[in-house]
Amino acid sequence: MRLFYLAIFALFLTFNSMAQSVAKFDDRTLAPESFWNGSDQSGSFKSSDVTFLNLYNTSWQSWSGFALSNMTDMTTAGYGNQYSAITGKGFDQSANYAVCYPSPSAELGITLPGKITGFYVTNSTYAYLSMKNGDAFAKKFGGETGNDPDYFKLMIETIDATGQPVDTLDFYLADFRSADNSKDYILNNWTWVDLSEMKLTGNLRFSLSSSDNSFGFMNTPGYFCMDDLKYAVMVSAPEVQQIQAAVFPNPFVDGITISGLKGMARVIIYDASGRKVAEYDNISTNQKINNLEGLNSGVYFVQISEGNNQFNSKLIKN
């Protein structure tokens, strides 16, 4: 199962605005105190424009990837309570949220070209109580003295159409590595994970790691919970008129000049992944934009905005 993306730079000439949206999971219907774990063999579920992949094994009646839940049990320890968040609710007291069991990884992606900017995350009740108290398989984090440098880490990767990682961000769901024990924590509230600076944030892959392992396997229950995934989808804007501008030289070395502007413009330069690398305000016609020599050689895209009018162009950096 693989989610394919349309590279953001390929759309700059036909799309020029971003619609902000949220996958809140409350657009999915669940009976009270229940869950969906893929037993219907559908292989995924959608919330808003985001597809969450799921794999269900009928032989073992087990699942991996993403499940959907509104379970509220914050106190029952063990595998039987694998669908509850330690918060007892979704973010902002909503009912539904996603539970992720990456085994070994899990993926999601927006079904339209765009950019995921972040999401809220917390621990599952199963993982939280295991780390807090220990259980038959996993240790109590910090050990008996509280000084063991334990951790439970979520790794987030942006991936390209072939599944290759492009960018990576680590987020600690529990962290006891500090010499100051007062800084030790096991996450038990909804916390924002900012992905806005990552490259290619249309498709994401998740995996987990822990300091507590035996025979190459993680002892800490490998679950986390997610809610309110925010993203921006590219939408057409036919009311925006194109500026009759020109950008030169192209290819460029250390700077560019823009001609044909009638007033003051805003200029944004993006790299080939859609990541903003430079931004300038109050640029006038024939004004040179310097200090671009630090950019790596390759393909870039410039977006020029003059009021409600825009001009987009491909650039080559030598």
pLDDT in tens, 153-184: 999 999 987 889 999 999 999 999 999 999 99
Which run of H or E residues covers position 126?
helix 125-133
CB under 8 Å to 188, separation ≥6 — which residues? 86, 87, 122, 123, 128
202-236 tens-digit pLDDT: 899 999 999 999 999 999 999 999 999 999 876 55
pLDDT digits (tens, 9 = 90+) for 33-87: 999 999 999 999 999 999 999 999 999 999 999 999 999 999 999 999 999 999 9
Q: What whole-number distance in Å separates Cα of residue 295 and Cα of residue 317?
A: 8
CB 145 within 8 A of CB 183: no
- Taking the domains of the chain in order of start, what are their residue ranges? 8-235, 246-317
pLDDT at 161: 78
DSSP string, 134-179: --SSSPPTTTTTS-S--EEEEEEEEE-TTS-EEEEEEEEEEE--SS
CA 83 – CA 273 distance, rounded (Å):
36
Evaluated on CA atoms 68, 70, 76, 80, the torsion sign reads negative
Residue partners of 300: CB distance under 8 A and separation at least 6? 269, 270, 271, 272, 277, 314, 315, 316, 317
Residue 160 contacts by C-beta under 8 Å, 6 or more apart in sequence? 5, 166, 200, 203
Domain 8-235 annotated CATH 2.60.120.1350? yes
The pLDDT value recorded for residue 242 is: 65
Instruction: Indicate the residue type of 13.
Output: L
**Integer angstrom CA distances of residue 204 from 19, 109, 162:** 19, 6, 13
Q: With beta carbons less than 8 A apart as the criterion, state whether 202 and 123 touch.
A: no
**Does residue 128 have a pLDDT over 60?**
yes
Beta strand 224-235 with 97-101: parallel, antiparallel or unpaired? antiparallel
Residue 52: C-alpha distances to residues 102, 138, 213 (Å): 12, 28, 28
Q: Is this prediction's pTM over 0.85?
A: no
* Average pLDDT across the chain, whole number: 90
- The structural architecture, per CATH, of the domain 246-317 is Sandwich (2.60)
Asked if 234 and 15 touch (Cβ cutoff 8 Å), the reply is yes
pLDDT of residue 1: 44
Q: Residue 255 pLDDT more than 90? A: yes
Strand order in the sheet with 287-289: 246-248, 256-259, 287-289
Phi-psi region of 291 (alpha: psi -120 to 50; beta: other; left: phi over 0): left
pLDDT of residue 226: 98
pLDDT at position 308 is 74
